[in-house]
Amino acid sequence: MTILMVFDFDHTVVDDNSDTWVIKCLPGQTLPDSVTNSYRKGHWTEYMGRVMNHIGDQKISHDSIRSVMETIPFTAGMTDLLTFISENKNTIDCIVISDSNTMFIEWILKASGLQTAVDQVFTNPAKFNESGYMEVQCYHSHDCQKCPINLCKRRVLELYLSKQADEGVEYERIFYVGDGGNDFCPTACLREHDAVMPRKGYTLEKLLARLEAQEGSTSPLAKVIVWSSGADILQELKASI
């Protein structure tokens, strides 16, 4: 019996949005209006493809992009939390489910030396093509009407838990840590003794509070524990071990 920690990445593990942080590698750190105005709600990954095409057009090197990504700040207390998880892998499994991409997350975790804390990352695949441009693909297709077209985090978590169960791994408690609207759907996977941990002041906390206030609404079964720093999460985690 072990504990599962599930993390969002942007504005959760790191204290910014990795997809918008990459713009810092551009001259003037700005995108042209033609790219900025091309975003359509629910189609973020396609938009990021256009962002990375523009960065490629500017002949920004791979190393320059990576160097910029490695400067993104971690959320307060998060490095201590991830260090604790990496030191207790016999009792804690840890996964990341994110709408960022494989390259950004890998670069950021490796630069901090914290990659050993994370067992698996579920995010949009990214690679550099033959022309030197980064390509970002959708993680999967799904039929959930509540989530962006490229990623339903509930579906990812359900499949992960099912595969773990097939291998004889049952989790005593699951902590889901996130901040955004797309972190609401996976809370449906959680049980009464699990915990959904929304970041204070962010969209997920507001969604959960609004649901709780509505009569007849279906709130998550899990306990809601609001956090402001990684220290809050670490305190809850230690209390469960």
Residues with a catalytic annotation lie at: 8, 10
Sign (positive or negative) of CA dihedral 67, 71, 72, 77:
positive
Q: Per residue in 108-134, is it b (16+ CB within 10 Å) or e — as a string?
A: bbeebebbebbeebbbbebeeeeeeeb
Spell out the alpha helix ranges (H) of 88-145.
Answer: 102-112
Q: Quote the CA–CA distance of 48 and 135 in Å, as a whole number.
A: 9
Specify the 3-state DSSP secondary structure of 241.
Answer: coil
Specify the 3-state DSSP secondary structure of 123.
Answer: strand
Q: Is 168 left (phi over 0), alpha (psi -120 to 50) or beta?
A: left
Give the DSSP per-residue string, 131-187. TS-EEE--S-----TTS-TT--HHHHHHHHHHHHHHTT--EEEEEEEE-SGGGSGGG
Q: Is there a contact between 196 and 187 (Cβ–Cβ < 8 Å)?
A: yes
Q: Quote the CA–CA distance of 96 and 13 in Å, as a whole number.
A: 9
- Residue among 80, 88, 136, 89 nearest 112 (CA): 80
